[in-house]
Amino acid sequence: MLLKLLPLLSTTVLYTLFYLISTFKFDVQILPLSVPYDFLLQLVIAYALYALSKRAWIFLVIHTLLMGLLYIGNAVKISFFGGPIMPDDVFALQSLLLILEGWRFFAAAIPLAAIASLLLFNFSMRHWTAYLASLAAILLGITVVYKPTSILMPLDGYFGNSVWDQRSNYVWRGATLYTLLETTRYFAVADVVPDGDMAQEAADNLLAAAPKKPASPKAFTPRNVHIVLLESFWDPNELKKAKYKPNPLSPEFRELWKNAGYSHALDPVFGGFTANSEFEVLCGFPVVKDAVKFERQLLNDAPCLPHLLADKGYRTIASHPNVPVFWNRVNAYRRMGFETYWSLKDFVKDDMNREFMSDRTLYRQVLEKISGSLEAKQPMLDYIVTYFGHWNYPLSESRPNKVSSPSNVEEVPAYANTIYYKTRELMEFIKEVRKRDPEGIIVVFGDHLPFLGENFAGYVESRVLTTNRSDFTPAMFKSYVSTPMIIIDGKRGPVKFGSLPLYQTPKLVLDLLNFNEPSIMDYTAAPPNMRVRPLPGLHFNLLANGSVDLCKEPPFSETCQLSARWLENVAIVSNDLFIGRQFTRPKYTPEKPLEPAVIEGSVAEPLTVSP
Give DSSP secondary structure letters for 133-150: HHHHHHHHHHHHHH-THH
Q: Label residue 129 by pLDDT band (50, 70, 90).
A: confident
Whether the ω angle into residue 555 lies within 30 degrees of 0, i.e. cis, is yes
Give the span between the Cα atoms of 357 and 363, in whole angstroms.
10
pLDDT of 24 above 50: yes
pLDDT of 453 above 50: yes
CA distances from residue 79 to 17, 22, 89, 466 in whole angstroms, order as listed:
18, 10, 16, 12
Q: Label residue 508 by pLDDT band (50, 70, 90).
A: very high
Question: Please, what is the angle between helix 329-336 and helix 274-283, to 10°?
Answer: 10
pLDDT of 604 above 50: no
Give the model's pLDDT for residue 89.
Answer: 75
- Largest separation between any pair of C-alpha atoms in the chain: 87
Give the span between the Cα atoms of 531 and 217, in whole angstroms.
26
Burial-class residue 57 by CB neighbours within 10 Å (0-12, 13-18, 19+): exposed
Q: Is 315 helix (H, G, I), strand (E, B) or coil?
A: strand
> Mean pLDDT over residues 354-362, rounded?
96
pLDDT of 3 above 70: no
Q: Label residue 95 by pLDDT band (50, 70, 90).
A: low
For domain 225-493, which CATH number applies: 3.30.70.20, 3.40.720.10, 3.20.20.370, 1.10.357.10?
A: 3.40.720.10
CA distances from residue 107 to 87, 227, 245 in whole angstroms, order as listed:
20, 36, 36
Q: Is 550 helix (H, G, I), strand (E, B) or coil?
A: strand
Q: Label residue 597 by pLDDT band (50, 70, 90).
A: very low
Q: How is residue 240 annotated by DSSP?
A: G
Q: Label residue 252 by pLDDT band (50, 70, 90).
A: very high
Task: Enumerate the domain spans of the chain.
Answer: 3-188, 225-493
Task: Identify the sign of the CA torsion 571, 576, 582, 583.
Answer: negative
145-159, 227-241, 403-417, 524-538: which range is least confident on average? 145-159
- Contacts of residue 491, Cβ cutoff 8 Å, sequence gap at least 6: 438, 439
Q: What is the CA radius of gyration of the chain?
A: 26
> Mean pLDDT over residues 225-247, rounded?
97
Residue-wise burial string across 200-227, b where 16 or more C-beta atoms lie within 10 A, e elsewhere = bebbebbbebbeeeeeeeeeeebbbbbb
Residue-wise burial string across 404-429, b where 16 or more C-beta atoms lie within 10 A, e elsewhere = ebebebebbbbbbbbbbbbbbbbbbb
pLDDT of 610 above 50: no
Q: How is residue 322 annotated by DSSP?
A: S
Q: Label residue 334 by pLDDT band (50, 70, 90).
A: very high
Strand (E) or helix (H) holding 329: helix 329-336
- Contacts of residue 583, Cβ cutoff 8 Å, sequence gap at least 6: 194, 196, 199, 200, 203, 576
Q: Label residue 126 by pLDDT band (50, 70, 90).
A: confident
Strands (DSSP E) contained in 310-354 are 315-319, 340-342, 352-353
Asked if 448 contacts 273 with a C-beta cutoff of 8 angstroms, the reply is: yes
Q: pTM for the whole thing?
A: 0.85
Give the model's pLDDT for residue 315.
Answer: 97
Most confident of 19-28, 141-150, 178-187, 476-485: 476-485
pLDDT of 114 above 80: no
Q: Is 310 helix (H, G, I), strand (E, B) or coil?
A: helix
Q: Label residue 599 by pLDDT band (50, 70, 90).
A: very low
pLDDT of 385 above 60: yes
Strand (E) or helix (H) holding 117: helix 102-122
Give the span between the Cα atoms of 265 and 235, in whole angstroms.
12
- Contacts of residue 165, Cβ cutoff 8 Å, sequence gap at least 6: 469, 470, 537
Give the span between the Cα atoms of 147 and 17, in whole angstroms.
35
Give the model's pLDDT for residue 104.
Answer: 58
Q: Is 378 helix (H, G, I), strand (E, B) or coil?
A: coil
Give the span between the Cα atoms of 280 and 302, in whole angstroms.
13
pLDDT of 88 above 90: no
Give the model's pLDDT for residue 99.
Answer: 58
Reported as a single tens digit per residue, the pLDDT across 457-499 is 999 999 999 999 889 999 999 999 999 999 999 999 999 999 9
Burial-class residue 252 by CB neighbours within 10 Å (0-12, 13-18, 19+): middle
Q: In the 3-class helix/strand/coil scheme, how is 182-229 assigned residue by residue?
A: HHHHHHHCCCCCCCHHHHHHHHHHHHHHCCCCCCCCCCCCCCCEEEEE
pLDDT of 236 above 70: yes
Give the model's pLDDT for residue 425.
Answer: 98
CA distances from residue 534 to 132, 478, 549, 563, 571 in whole angstroms, order as listed:
45, 11, 12, 10, 11
Give the span between the Cα atoms of 477 and 164, in whole angstroms.
12
pLDDT of 212 above 70: yes
73-87, 166-180, 217-231, 575-589: which range is least confident on average? 73-87
* Higher per-residue pLDDT: 41 or 601: 41
Q: Label residue 87 by pLDDT band (50, 70, 90).
A: confident
Q: Label residue 101 by pLDDT band (50, 70, 90).
A: low
Give the span between the Cα atoms of 317 and 314, in whole angstroms.
9
45-54, 535-544, 566-575: which range is least confident on average? 45-54
Q: Label residue 500 by pLDDT band (50, 70, 90).
A: very high
Mean pLDDT estimate for the chain: 89
Give the model's pLDDT for residue 605.
Answer: 44
Rounded percentage of the chain residues whose pLDDT exceeds 90: 66
Give the model's pLDDT for residue 574.
Answer: 97
